Structure 1
Amino acid sequence: MQIAVDVMGGDNAPACNIRGIHQALTDFPHIRKFLLVGDSEIIKRELDHIEPSMDESRLELVHASQTITMTDPSSTALRQKKDSSITVAAGLLKNNQADALVSAGHTGAAVAATVVKTRTLEGIERPGIAAVMPTSTGSSFLVLDVGANVDCKPIHLAQYALLGEAYSRYILRTPEPRVGVLSFGGEDQKGNDLTKNAFKLLKQMPINFIGNIEGHDLFTNDIDVVVCDGFVGNVMLKACESLARTMTQILKNRMRKSPVRMAGAFLSKNAFRELKELTDHEEYGGAPLLGINGNCIIAHGSSTPKAVRNAIRVAAEMVENRVNEHILAKVSSIDWQQLATD
């Protein structure tokens, strides 16, 4: 197995990406080679600072002279920077030189580059970014799309259900994933045109579709896969991230108000650590871009070495569990034209 890493992507690149690869080298000996994509001279200088030194027999540097920054516009970045690290890395995926790609860089550029280079899986119209979210019981559920496509058709949400169902079943190990549409009411007739028409398609499909899901149902362990358009999904994801940070800061501030509270916090430190692990994006590694003809994990822009290491872990799991093969089998079993006319 070979994993390509966009070393120049992310707010903390290239240092955190290389340190994440360093951790992965030790933790995942089954990954035969890591392809480090980016400016070779910069990467070499960074490698010289790593202690202990890395096993260079499992490293291959792939030069890319340009980098797409977080401020570059998605609409023009790929055209203006044809030798960017994410474009070169996506090319490795296309040519089967890499089994999977990991990038903490510009999300729009990562989506565009992989779609242009690899295309989508046969039968899939649009890819979707899936985010793993925690529940109150310690389990997790999947939300997609969270940013690949802000404008969707009902067929896209129906196909997101298949993408998410396969990921939930084979990566999150959910035996019979429960699938729902994010809406503002549980009744069949509630929602907008997009969700109501998607509902009609989903209830005819060979999945465990349980209907509409409201916002207050998301974190209750009553759902395994939630589908929505990328605009709604991204707003929800960013709001949840901000709320988690805010609640953590409020709790810290309140705990510091008295010695008794601080003593209580010390006695509860294991519980707080477990809570952090459940809600920390570092633990999940990154979000899979599902529906492309390849395996791609999009890590958070502010990823730490630990987050990069875990993104590599998830990428390897996608390869090992042949998620795309399972998606293709499900997609090919459905007569989409007939489904749309029923």
Structure 2
Amino acid sequence: MSLSSMPDNIIVRLNRVPDPGVLPADIFDLVTEPVPELRSGQILVEILYQAIDAGSRGMLDSAAGYVLTVPPGDRLPASASIGRVFSSLSDQYGEGVLVRLFGGTRQRYQRIDPSRCVGLQVLEPDVGEPLHYLGILGITGFTAWLGITDICRPVPGETVLISVAAGAVGSAAGQFAKALGARVVGIAGGATKCQYVRDQFGFDDCVDYKAADFTERLAQACPQGVNSYFENVGGAVQRAAFALLRDFGRVAMCGQVAQYNGGGEVPGANLMTVVNRQLEVRGFLAHVHYHRLPEFMAQVGQWYREGKLVQPCNVVQGLENLHEAINSLVEGRNIGQQVHQLTASR
């Protein structure tokens, strides 16, 4: 395909550092630029869907303490995308093929070198729901799997506690722990979400952190204490969870969502508990472990084929509505994987 017949690219750039709270409609600029010319072996992917995760908000200002901060004027990174090969100079990926890839930025067309792209995979719709390759079979699931298998390390009969249990990572982590034989208790916001976590995700119990007697309810749900805790949130939830950890408990520090909305750090647990109970508390970053993706797909793919895993997706359409896709996640309107569809359904 000649360069003259290529469509224009639309790239999302950060307009300014946002104020704390809900993102306004003008926080991002949509910039039109020419599509870059392909070199030998490369493919041009029309991006259809992109994952929205807690870091999508956390990266927008330094107060969040996130692993990276996007300066105003820069392109916005994306953790994972699904798209269709629009043009190809590769023998491996023909035009029209649906693919999933990790990394990249938020833009309509992405030039990819398959030999250097992490997570690039051809999607077969008859094998699995394509959007699940953004979620439970994608970077979301990979993150949850690392925290559960490497750090929480549950064995049958142990109690695993999961915060943000109705979210994409939390719901996946809980289902993985169940598949390994653990008793799983979730923490979520509101009675409706808690019921969903129990009925659809298969958790043994789920406690509403918005309840006035949350701490007491959590203790009742974990009468023998907690062997391992998958931590996503920080703040008061973290304090309550740490208080229930048994001696030699394990904590997978995945994120601190409570401070990602621009307000800065939120006081959490008394870390003297770590000393007194000889806890193992470990943070982790998924991208450091990409070499283990085949191991992840072997185990989680088997659970998926056996029908042990579910993940709903909440989709917001339109490049101009990226801010709303992020707001939906940060405000807790989603259950499961939050997804941004770059164009309206055609």
Q: TM-score, structure 2 length as denominator?
A: 0.28
Greater percentage in helix: 1
Higher RCO structure (Cα 8 Å, ≥6 apart): 1
